[in-house]
Amino acid sequence: MRILLAEDDELLGSGLKAGLAQHGFQVDWVRDGVAAERELLTGAYQAAVLDLGLPRQDGLDSLKAVRARQIGTPVLVLTARDAIPSRVAGLDAGADDYLVKPVDLLELAARLRALVRRAHGQPQARLEAGGITLDPAARQVWLNGEPVELSGREYDLLHVFMLNAGRVLTRDQLEQHLYKWGNEVSSNAIEVHVYHLRRKLRPEVVETVRGVGYLLPREARP
């Protein structure tokens, strides 16, 4: 899951990036409010962790600007501002969650998963579609109750399909969701991962929409 981290403190930023990576997040890290706004406006992120006291532009202003442009990316505000008025202002500016520093890594990861899940209209913690069950917290996948071993990339790709079950995703969109900056994406990377998913789960788990992209149907075909 690709998320944006906006934090100007080097030590905390590197910790958050490494810690979230341990929990399966692909983290892009920006250090000021202007960059945070610019990156959020791309809409390429599943969620964002936003500090408020950022250089160049306050995180709150970045958030307001992004929401004004109808970008619905879930945003978790992580800040040292603990006063109630600050929390209210943060949530009213469009934040989906508000955490005060210091924060526990496990809790932060869980909240990010919950934000992503809710943003895709999924009420349960486990995602289910077409006989496949995916547990984002445990990063585990079952097919008709049987556990399936997937590589990290394959899991990430399946997660994106499950979150967007019943919707067609283009190859660009998939790449955006999967790869953080600086990763070399070979032209057929998505095809290779889809191939492996079909092999490990079942051939018709992901359907190809010729010339457009891929689709994971909500219900498995009989």
Partner 1 sequence: MTLRAGGPMRSLQARLLLTVLGLVAVVWLVAVVATWYDTRHELSELLDAHLAQTASLLATQASDELEDSALARAPTLHKYQPRVAFQVWHEGRLMVRSAEAPDEPLSGRRSAGLADGEVGGHFWRVFTTQGREADVLIHVAELQSARRDILWASLRSVIWPSLLALPLLALGIWWAVRDAVRPLRELGQGVAARRPQAFDPLPTQGVAPEVLPLVVALNGLFERMAVQLASERRFTADAAHELRTPIAAIRMQAQVAQGATSDAERTDALAATLQGCDRATRLVEQLLQLARLEAEVGGDAAADSGLEGETDLADKARRLLAELAPLARTRRQSLTLEAPDAVPVAMSAPLAAVLLRNLVDNALRYSPDGARVKVRLTAAHGVTLTVEDSGPGLPAEALDRLGERFFRVLGTGQPGSGLGWSIVRRVSRLYGLSVAVGRSEVLGGLRVQVRWPEAPV
DSSP string, 61-117: HHHHHHHHTT----EEEEES--SHHHHHHHHHTT-SEEEESS--HHHHHHHHHHHHH
Closest CB to partner 1 among 69 and 101? 101
Check: CB of residue 34 under 8 Å from CB of residue 43. Answer: no
What's the chain's length in residues? 222
Q: In this structure, what token pair is assigned to residue 47?
A: 């969620």
Using CB under 8 A, pick the residue from 38, 43, 56, 89 that binds partner 1. 56
**Binding string, residues 67-86; x marks residues near partner 1 by CB under 8 A:** -----------x-xxx----
55 interacts with partner 1 by CB under 8 A: yes
Closest CB to partner 1 among 18 and 212? 18
Binding residues among 98-157 for partner 1 as defined by CB under 8 A: 100-106
Peptide bond into 102 cis (omega under 30): yes
Q: Is the dihedral of CA 84, 47, 49, 16 positive or negative?
A: positive
Cα(193)–Cα(61) distance, rounded to whole angstroms?
Answer: 39
Residue 189, beta-bridge partner list: none
Stretch that binds partner 1, among 13-21, 65-73, 167-175, 193-201 (CB under 8 A): 13-21
211 interacts with partner 1 by CB under 8 A: no
Closest CB to partner 1 among 63 and 78? 78
For the CB of residue 27, give the shortest distance to partner 1 in the complex, in Å: 12
For the CB of residue 143, give the shortest distance to partner 1 in the complex, in Å: 27
Q: Which residues bind partner 1 (CB under 8 A)?
A: 8-12, 14-16, 18-19, 22-23, 32, 55-56, 78, 80-82, 100-106
